[in-house]
Amino acid sequence: MKLFEDFKIKFEKPNWAKSPELGLIDTILEQHPHLIALLEDDITRGCSHSIFGRKDTPSVEQIVRSAIYKELKGLDYRELEFHQEDSRIGALFIRIDELRPYSFQMYHKYISKIQPESLQKLLVELNKIAIDEGLEDIEKLRQDSTVVETNIHYPTNNSIIWDCIKEAHRLLSQLQKETEGLNYRDYTKQAKKNYFKINVIKSSDKQTELFRKQFILFIKTINQLSNAVKKNPCCGIKTTCIIMMMEKHIEVMNKVYDMAYRKEIKGEKVPNEDKIFSIYEQHTDIIKKGGREIEFGHKINLCSGKSNLVLYCDVLRGNPSDTKLFKPAIDSIVEQYDRIPRDSVTDGGYASLENQAHAKEKGIVNIVFNKVVGSLQNITSSKNLETRLKKWRSGIEAVISNIKRGYNLSRCNWKGWEHFVAKVLWSVIAYNIRVMTALVVRRI
């Protein structure tokens, strides 16, 4: 295979031998330039092209390479800026001019523009290369789900109300600096006192009374924001941005008021669909798997093959049952790779007669769930094979642990829904590169 030959030559050079993962992905990008083209539209979106003047922006290839380097090394953008000058292998892989390095703001601007849909395509294309090179055959498939937390504090009605009041006064303070004659009352001092008192008081009657006081301040704060938006016309870019943020924050505050008032004053049970768990990461879902602790983030469904490569990754909204995740994963694997797995094994959460029938219809021969209930029975050619598949299934727990621990994915600190999904996919891509490297080096 050409990949093995080219990588073997590169692997003999000292710089690449110390970083075989970078050596392998460098070889793959050289042999398959279409991988870079997959991300080109996202990176160049909104950019004007000119044949004149000095080119002070990095090329698409440099952006893709720097993003991969950043994830493989577990860096933030400031550390990436430092590495391009400090690391010889970093500068060699990113293909950067050592005399004209780029700032971390430049990297952040372009890397953050890459969309999750493009990263899904990149993940599939890398896996297809692994299949063509004989590293994976998609004969066996195992899947499991996990939770990646968003970067928020533990949400309570009290803390979310306090966050809303703080954010409102921050915006009012910014607007006051940009405009003349804006006066407002600062309620943060009293609101903070109420916040701490609610946290420590155990009596429900006294706590309800404190919430009533906090809601009065909350309404006054909403009114101040509304008046500031009405009285201050948008005259200037910065002022316009602040006014727009205020308008969005008023909507959030109204939702928080409705949610908290129903629970704390009326005593209603508010459904999860009507709740906001963070005013900063509003896409956050509440996840509860079995009898485990409640987590706040998003559910991730993963499929891996015999080689431990992640073949499928889906970031989900809400808290869907595992039984609903089985069909989309199987359909996606068959459609994307044009291959039908021989064996499919999952834990008991995916087990259902409907899922078993769907897998059988797709042409899967051995269908195993780790736990079966009622009339459901595993379909295998022998009891020994069923036992071996169940043992093999447990290996996906190690895959998930490797991704979350190795690429800082236990808690995602990227902001916003799209960036959250992008971070998950970048981490999975980096993990797959590491697995591919181990398989190739073993053969060499």
Task: Identify the DSSP state of 379.
Answer: B
Q: Which alpha helices (H) appear in 186-302, and where do they start and end?
A: 188-200, 204-231, 237-264
pLDDT in tens, 77-89: 999 999 988 888 8
pLDDT of residue 52: 56
| Of the listed ranges 180-189, 250-259, 358-367, the one predicted with least confidence | 180-189
Strand partners, 140: 343
What mean pLDDT, rounded, does the chain reach? Answer: 90
Q: Choose from 132-136, 183-187, 372-376, 423-427 the range with maximum mean pLDDT.
A: 423-427
- Within its chain, how far is the Cα of 176 from the centroid? 36
Whole-model pTM over 0.85: yes
Q: Which alpha helices (H) appear in 307-411, and where do they start and end?
A: 326-337, 353-362, 383-393, 395-406
pLDDT of residue 211: 93
Residue 159: pLDDT over 90:
yes
Strand partners, 143: 303, 346
pLDDT in tens, 88-101: 888 889 988 766 78
Cα–Cα distance measured from residue 236 to residue 259, given in angstroms and rounded to the nearest whole number:
35
Cα–Cα distance measured from residue 345 to residue 386, given in angstroms and rounded to the nearest whole number:
9
Question: Would you place residue 324 in the very low, low, confident or very high pLDDT band (cuts 50, 70, 90)?
Answer: very high
Domains and CATH numbers, the chain: 2-114 (no CATH), 117-152+295-432 (3.30.420.10), 157-274 (no CATH)
Q: Let me know: does 368 contact 384? Beta carbons within 8 Å.
A: no
Residue in the block written with tokens 């995740």 = 325
